[in-house]
Amino acid sequence: MTVSSNKIRRTARWTAKRYRSEALRRRELRAERKPLVRDARHAVAAAKALDPSGITSAVHTAERGLKTAQRRVPDSLPVFALKSAAGLGTAAYVGLPAIPEEVWAWGGSGAGTMAAGAAVIAIVRSKRAPRGLEPSKEERALLARLQPEHWREHCEKRGLAGTLTGKPKLTESGIVCAVRLDGTWTAAKLSSSGDHVRALLGARTDLRIETKAGKKGGWAELTIRTRSAADGDDLLWTPERRSLGVDTVTGEQVTVPLGERLLIAGRSGAGKSVASRPLLYDASEGGSNALAIIDLKRVEGRLWDHRARVASTPDEVVTLVDELEAEMHDRLNVLPKGQDTWTPTADRPRITVVVDEGAEVVTAAKDALEGLESLARMGRAACIDLWWMTQKPTIGDGVPKQISPQISTSICLAVRTPTEARVVLGEDAQAKGWNADELPAPGVALIRDGKRGPDPVRVRYMDKAVVIALPAQPIWSRAMDPSDRKQSVSMAKAPAPAQDSEGKVLAAIADGAGQVPTLVERTGLSRATVNRLLIGLLDAGQVRRADRGRYALATPAEAM
């Protein structure tokens, strides 16, 4: 008996599941295709009005289209079941006389018992099963206004004639509804009419409404962010929860791997510094990773000075960039034949160079800009990766023209204008749903890496106290002996970098390298740095100008 009851329960579960899925499929198809039937009826009426005598084929074509549309609308499952039962009953009535009464009696009683048992089990399980998402008062109002009947009645008054909604669905990330578009509409045009959509729905002004192209031609998809899949998730950063954040649509953990060239942008107050902290932790953690931060504002960099090399003045920035550029060329020169990228080690680790507020570097440390552009172009092969952060994401001011094309991953928090969103996320950003200018602030970002869609990410919160309490890590410096790096966790800076650079230039001039291009090649310094040092050495009387743009060491008499 136990085996039979188990089989009955399994059969009942399977039957109930199949019934629910089939009923849902038919409801969705009916909601999608019934408007097409209404349109076909209007087409028939219009054809008959134009050709009441039926001289042309217009009426016949319209009627044929109506029949096709009607055939494509499936019956609801109860109607389908009634039709099936009627067909079976008719067949049974015709064939009953040929079957003995005993067979019918035993077969009928057995089938009735199984059907009753299955029905009882299905009812009990349906009461125990979760009922799904429960809409809030606001969501119920929006779902009612998204119904095709309400939309059709009010769309023309709101300037949306030619559009029609399908059946709206409540998901963990909000309300999703397909919108059918006639020939005068596109998804981009519907997106630009967001104010009209908001007015028709009576939605509050701070409620985010997204519009993108649908899964089929002639359709758009409307998403109203009444809720987030990240709701209820603990977004505080811990070493056990090291992801960047949580996808608000799927609820998945979102990570950004090392080795990418990043652009991180967001207006003031959008949470750019907080969003970057989990990434900075990953970049400074482990024996084969090192972090260097350029922070002329002297705020965020100070939190990390026990784990990262920090440059907070223009001179320190130029020195750091010179060392990084020299390290990059050294690695590329010794890179084995056939190997595309450097293999990080504890002695020569992967170096992540973070520029915190690029606009300040562009204006206050121009001498370092050429070196940073070189790192952006060539650093990836040497495992020296550039991350550019800015509150002013405009080409030229906040993001240099030579660096912007090298970016492989863009992380954009709330920005002020659509223009800034396009600079960060690409010129096609808004047409494809990457509307960073509509993001709430702080703590919500869009990440475009060529793999993700425009789903917002709730970033994890990493407090300043947590950063300060992190264990110290070795500080990278090209002046440090690699054998000492494993034991070093001090905050000592590179010794007398300006003197080292001057010494390189003086040694190269003494060796016969009198012209600037040759000095750049011999010293490994950037052209801007070499020119700056030459000016200082000329003023100090240590070098002199020779003929044909060459430089030479000053004689003792000239130095005096």
Task: Give the domain CATH number at 535.
Answer: 1.10.10.10
Handedness of CA 549, 550, 556, 559 (dihedral sign): positive
229 has a pLDDT exceeding 50: yes
For residues 117 and 174, membership in a common domain is answered with no
200 has a pLDDT exceeding 90: yes
For residues 297 and 381, membership in a common domain is answered with yes
* Position 367 in a domain: yes
For residues 399 and 507, membership in a common domain is answered with no
Give me the pLDDT at residue 379, please: 92
Q: What are 490-521's pLDDT values in tens digits?
A: 333 333 344 467 888 888 888 888 777 788 88
| Domain finish residue from 449, 469, 489 | 469
For residues 38 and 174, membership in a common domain is answered with no
Distance CA 157, CA 159 (A): 6
* Biggest distance spanned by C-alpha atoms of the chain: 133
* Position 478 in a domain: no
| Domain finish residue from 107, 128, 149 | 128
Is 34 assigned to a binding site? Answer: no
Instruction: Name residues whose C-beta falls within 8 Å of residue 264's C-beta, 6 or more positions apart in sequence.
Output: 272, 275, 276, 387, 388, 389, 390, 411, 413
For residues 292 and 431, membership in a common domain is answered with yes
Is 453 assigned to a binding site? Answer: no
* Position 482 in a domain: no
Give me the pLDDT at residue 99, please: 61
For residues 409 and 314, membership in a common domain is answered with yes
Give me the pLDDT at residue 103, please: 57
| Domain finish residue from 104, 128, 152 | 128
Q: Which two tokens stand for residue 423?
A: 């600079």
Is 9 assigned to a binding site? Answer: no
Give the whole-number percent of the chain exceeding pLDDT 90.
29
User: Any idea what DSSP says for residue 243?
Assistant: S
How many CB atoms are located within 10 Å of the residue 102 CB? 8
For residues 438 and 505, membership in a common domain is answered with no
Q: What's the pLDDT band for 418 if we cut at 50, 70, 90? A: confident
Average pLDDT for 2-25? 74
The chain-wide mean pLDDT, for the chain, equals 82
Q: What are 33-52's pLDDT values in tens digits?
A: 888 888 888 888 888 888 77
Q: How does 150-168 read in b/e, with b if 16+ C-beta sit within 10 Å? A: ebeeebeebebeebbbbbb
* Position 234 in a domain: no
Give me the pLDDT at residue 25, please: 84
Is 270 assigned to a binding site? Answer: yes
Distance CA 59, CA 516 (A): 85
Domain of 555, in residue numbers: 497-559
Is 64 assigned to a binding site? Answer: no
Q: How does 481-495 read in b/e, with b if 16+ C-beta sit within 10 Å? A: eeeebeebeeeebbe
Q: Please give the residue that has the higher pLDDT: either 178 or 538.
A: 178
* Position 6 in a domain: yes
Is 271 assigned to a binding site? Answer: yes
197 has a pLDDT exceeding 90: yes
For residues 122 and 155, membership in a common domain is answered with no
463 has a pLDDT exceeding 80: yes
* Position 491 in a domain: no
Give the whole-number percent of the chain exceeding pLDDT 70.
86
Distance CA 58, CA 47 (A): 6
Average pLDDT for 56-77? 83
163 has a pLDDT exceeding 90: yes
Q: Are 397 and 242 in contact (CB under 8 A)?
A: no
For residues 268 and 297, membership in a common domain is answered with yes
For residues 142 and 116, membership in a common domain is answered with no
Q: Please give the residue that has the higher pLDDT: either 203 or 116.
A: 203
Burial (CB < 10 A; 0-12, 13-18, 19+), residue 194, is middle
Give me the pLDDT at residue 500, please: 64
Is 245 assigned to a binding site? Answer: no
When divided into structural domains, the chain yields a total of 4
Is 268 assigned to a binding site? Answer: yes
Q: What are 302-315's pLDDT values in tens digits?
A: 999 999 999 988 88
* Position 398 in a domain: yes
Residue 384's DSSP bridge partners are 351
Q: Is pTM beyond 0.85 here?
A: no
368 has a pLDDT exceeding 90: no
- What CATH number does residue 170 fall under? 3.30.980
Average pLDDT for 174-193? 90
* Position 230 in a domain: no
